[in-house]
Structure 1
Amino acid sequence: MSNYDIGDLLGSRSPAQIAAYLQDIGDDEEAAHFLSGAGGQSFGLEARPYARTGMVLGFIPAAPGSTSIQSISAVTADEALIGTQIKVTLDKFFVYKYPGWGTHTVLCEFNGKNQVAGESEELSFALRFDTRDGTSPSIAGAPIFMGLTVGSDGISFKGRVVNVRNSTDDVVLATLDTPAFKHGLTLLSTAQPALKPLASLAAATVGAVMKRRQNALIHMFELGLDFRGSATSARLRHGSYVVVQSDAASSWDWDDYEWNPGGMALHLKGQPEATPEFNYLVVGVSPSTGSAPV
């Protein structure tokens, strides 16, 4: 599984280093937010959404038409999922603001493990898409892991998001447009040797892109969804997990927001036209087709 280091995040760099990166990709106006006395807001006065390194996690119940978002601490685990197979999908990706002008090419990588027949399969899956500030790409139920086996300790997977500005990566990223990556990783109740080279290819593709100077790691997150963990752990059940890029976890209140099931988007409660000023994604957990104890 790929190693994730918070020190690799764009938001972990100094204000001067972030400004230098923004200038390198031609976004001088945005760089001014990180330079005191440069005619813009200083870093301490106005942190940008893409420079936040933390995570806030919420949960939307699987019931049709659900609008409320629960704090992850209020979620009750469903132990009936132990021994079944589930589907993990990317249901929403929203960019409030990313570095650079115009269209952003975004690369998402997901890593996990599949416990089958006494073996542990390393999983790595990546997908890319284009979007602009204040919008979402045309994503709804994009498959990531299909048939992931739920063990007695639940599941664990992590993800990271890269802002791709180097045009020479188009050829490398074309790998992710092949059918093998378009339909997610289909997992079985037995180990699959063919998964290893596919997972290695995904990891290598992301690794190559991250080495380019003009590309930047924007966010990373790790979800450990269990059944009987500590009071501070997250619980597993069918539904949608909302991952917000934010450093405001200590003051966060999900009662301030609600989910619009028609528009598939978050907004301020009672203000459907009010777009939240943060980047977020939604990961769905649902029954796999023909899911049954394995």
Structure 2
Amino acid sequence: MKAAILREFGPPEVLRYEDVPDPVPGAGQVVVRVHATTVNRVLNCGVRAGTQMQRKPILPLVLGVDPSGEVVAQGPAVDGVTMPPVGSRVSVLSRAGPGEKGMLGVNRWGGDAELVVAHATMCFPIADGLDYHQASVVIRHCPTAFHLMYTMGKVKAEDWVLVMGCSGGLGSIGVQIAKMAGAKVIGAAGSADRAQIGKDLGADFVVNYGEQDLTEEILRITDGHGVDLVYDNIANPKTFPKAFAAMAHDSRLVTAGAHGGPIVPLDCFKLYDSKITIMGSAGSTMENVRQALDAAGRGKIRVNIEKVFPLSRIREAHRLIESGAVPGKVILDPTLG
């Protein structure tokens, strides 16, 4: 099979599009013919560049944490494990299944290849209304978004919710699921066009913090109340304190990202005086996965895909993400070459 191999850390040029042996499934595993993976700023570009060594990536490595595709082979059956049928369409969750170690695409070979091995318990059926490209965005971002917004943030109807980076992968999902809960949503982004994406996805109000004062605009929009929940995945040292200053009494801040920082100023007086709770988590529960797939399957979530590349052009895809020039997701499709 063809795969994009990482044998050393560095710029996009270290990625090699090569022939490697086809993978063989073990007990309880399947082989998936990959039709899509996303290119993620941290888990793809950061791992490749060597800036995510705390994740202990193992070289040589095939990146790709969120493959979607068609099951083409099964390993030996295991009692109690339901094997997805050959021919079925599935998305693969990046966490390890029984007998596996580490994260897919970081500690073991991932989906930036024509074929990938995955444990059956980490394969989830793709709804008829989603194509492979959309499905990879859903499995990558939606479970985490549900975990942040519902499990941790306890969002409820009539909450004022601020979604930072409202045009990005995680932010755009956050806007939509906050609206599903009946919240009043403010989307924030660094340019007018990116703020408009948040508006188009359902945000009641948007703030272009590239031109507007984020704190002042939030307090104006909420008539001085502030926001009850801040949903962040950027940790920008300039905008984080602005959002924090506009938080209401007994409010919550949830976060699952830090590519804009990771170090930010924190007003500890505001923290204790307003009784603010700050929570961080990069994971999700299986219930969050089911919530996300159900919502996407019912057409309740739209994903923003900017560009699709053949796997052979993975270097170009990484450069595009690192440029910061695109608000939507970038997809690699090995079936295109």
| TM-score by shorter chain over 0.5 | no
* Structure index of larger Rg: 2
TM-score (normalised: structure 2): 0.26
Higher-strand-fraction structure: 1
Higher relative contact order (CA 8 A, sep 6+): 1
Higher-helix-fraction structure: 2
TM-score (normalised: structure 1): 0.28
